[in-house]
Amino acid sequence: MTSATANAVPIASRSRTGVHAFVRRHPTVVIGGALLLLIGIASIVAPWLATTDPISIDPSHRLRSPSSEHWFGTDGFGRDLYSRVIYGGRVSLIVGLSVATLATVIGLAIGLVSGYLRAVDALVMRVMDGMMAIPAIMLAIALIALSKASVVIVIVAVTLPEVPRVVRLVRSIVLTIREQPYIEAATAIGTSVPRIILRHLLPNALPPLIVQATYICASAVLIEAALSFLGAGTPPEIPSWGNIMAEARPYFQLKPAMVLLPGLFLAVTVLAINLVGDGLRDMLDPRLARRM
Amino acid sequence: MHVYLIRRLLAAVPVIVVVTVFVFALLHLAPGDPAAIIAGDLASAEDVAKIRANLGLDRPLLIQFFTWVGQLLHGDLGNSIFSAHPVTQLIGQRLEPTVTLTLMTLFISVLLAVPLGVIAAWRAGSWIDRGVMGFAVFGFSVPGFVIGYVLIWLFAIELDWLPVQGYTPLAKGFWPWLSNIILPSVTLALAYMALIARITRASMLETLSQDYIRTAHAKGLSTPSVLMGHALRNASVPIVTVIGIGVALLIGGVVVTESVFAIPGLGRLTVDAILRRDYPVIQGIILVFSGAYVVVNLVVDMLYTVLDPRIRY
């Protein structure tokens, strides 16, 4: 009996220390990931979590304080603030994920070509330098100002200024690796360029790229919120944290929570993404981790 | 030295060209007729035609571009569609609050973030270090407009120490000016401080591991003298670089911060221009902001040779 438990304990605790060790070594990834998972699930099951339709207006119940019926109170149109905030996460996450994916894929393609073909490199890099000189939010504003507001336009407008950052990263990696002897060897035995890119350059570029994609995701969530807050982002009929805050602004002195609650959700989401990014960076590049 | 200056100035030319082409192309990249979009849904065909003529959209693309660039070179950014005032005049009127806010932010950020980064690197691994790093992640993550509202709520509404919103020019007295500018500056400074503190720490860690730092300690120099005189001086190039690059962040933040604090600067002008689809104004502001970014980074590059005499181009 005693020996049986004594035998059982090490196995159980060993599997537990595996998880434990990971949590202890990378607490930021675990905390950030857990928060993000929570927000992600809440956004997906928003129709079940929300207490009412986030866009149904009820002027007779406008500007109510938090109650058991309206957990966060109601806004200037009598819409339930809690339901709107829960739905608002959808836009943020969709924009964040789409921009991170699009910017990374486009930037990767341009960066690989630019790093490998000297002929186009100079031109491409000058264009990227020029794009980076335009502040991201201004570039997005300019694009959106000329289009009908929609989530797709926001995604395109936020992706564009992020692309040069990825291009620079990928290009710098390619430039370092292409001088390595094993690339020379691969070329010498007649490996084709696409194959070198796929087999040798891509695996090397992937870890820093994943970290960069996480930061782009955080930045995209912030920019979408800022644009919506300024009235140049997600159209008003779709609740997003930025436009919920914008609509609550006139009532701020009366009911600060109307502005601060969606702001809190936004801040926690971006914080979670950044924590995951920092943790991934430490995991994938321990040398850099000590320095940063 | 002079050769370097000239080379560096020439390198800025393609950047400016790309920005100019880009800002011009923006109007034509958008799907559909830009004149119709600018005029809005309620405009008559006449209004649309007027806007098209005003912007010169009825002429061939290349002619439009060179006319526009020609005007730019004469310092003419066109006229606002909404008010018909020259864009340069509109921007000129709004420049002071934005410049004040930016300089104040820069001042606060550098003054606080560099020492924070130095101390964090000096006491790497301690609770001070953790605190500074935690603050940096926080500063990156909390959006400016959320911080702005928290500060307004705390200092203007609950404590009633400072005015809620608005702007007073410095000419009307120091305290009225400062009391209005302090909250927006702190709001804007937070993300910038996070950036500067982080790079200062990283760069200092690198420098502090050098042999000459040990030598400086060994010959009996005081810690502040080693940290500031020897280490920071040698760690300064990446820090200054990030301060320059961070100006882009600052400019984006200005637009949002001015909106939160109702400051009548370029940011407000931008937001008003978006709502009215006043495209010449938007183009003008982007050019001014991008130009400022290019100039700041040019100055930063020049500073390299001052900060680190080993750099010779």
Those residues with Cβ within 8 angstroms of residue B89's Cβ, 6 or more apart along the chain or in another chain: none
Cα A91 from Cα A44, distance rounded (Å): 11
Q: Please tell me the distance from the alpha carbon of residue B129 to that of residue A228, in angstroms, as a whole number.
A: 35
- With residue B60 as reference, give the H or E element that holds it: none
Which of B141, B246, B111, B107 lies closest to A218 in space, CA to CA? B141
To the nearest whole angstrom, how far is the Cα of A58 from the nearest Cα of chain B?
27
Residue B303 tokens read as 């500073």
Looking at the partner chain, which of B21, B143, B152 has a beta carbon nearest the beta carbon of A222? B143
- On the question of pLDDT at A3 being above 60, the answer is no
The reply to whether ipTM tops 0.85 is no
Place of tokens 């001088």: A179
Q: How far is B82 from chain A (nearest CA, A)?
A: 15
A250 → chain B, closest CA residue: B260
Rounded to 5 degrees, φ, ψ at B75 are: 75, 20
For A24-41, the pLDDT digits (tens) are 777 888 888 888 898 888
Residues of chain B positioned with their CB less than 8 A from the CB of A229: 145, 256, 259
* β-sheet bridge partners, residue B86: B79
Phi, psi angle pair for B86, to nearest 5°:
-60, 140
A253 neighbors B164 (Cβ within 8 angstroms):
yes
CB B213 within 8 A of CB B230: yes
In whole angstroms, what is the distance from residue A239 CA to residue A216 CA? 22
Among candidate residues B264, B288, B289, B275, the one with its CA nearest the CA of residue B81:
B275
Write the residue in B19, B206, B274 that is nearest to A141 by C-beta: B274
- Chain B residues closer than 8 Å to A131 by CB: 18, 22
A169-217 residue pLDDT tens: 888 888 888 788 888 888 888 888 888 888 888 888 888 888 889 999 9
Q: What is the mean pLDDT of chain B?
A: 83
Torsion angle, CA of A61/A62/A64/A66, rounded to 10 degrees?
90
Kindly report the nearest CA distance between residue B143 and chain A, in angstroms: 6
Record: contact A270-B255, CB cut-off 8 A: no
* A95, A137, B57, B256 from A157: Cα distances, Å: 11, 9, 23, 17
Residue B148 gets the label, from left (phi > 0), alpha (psi -120 to 50) or beta, of: alpha
Contact assignment for B149 to A252 by CB distance below 8 Å: yes
* Whether residue B123 has pLDDT greater than 80: yes
- Whether B19 and A133 lie within 8 Å, measured CB to CB: yes
β-partners of residue B79 are: B86
Q: Which residues from B are below 8 Å from A260, CB to CB?
A: 146, 149-150, 153
- Is B154 exposed, middle or buried, given 0-12, 13-18 or 19+ CB atoms closer than 10 A? middle
User: Bigger pLDDT: A147 or B95?
Assistant: B95
Residue A97 has pLDDT above 90, yes or no: yes
CA-based nearest residue in chain B for residue A253: B157
d(CA B247, CA B288): 13
Residue A154 in this model has a pLDDT that exceeds 50: yes
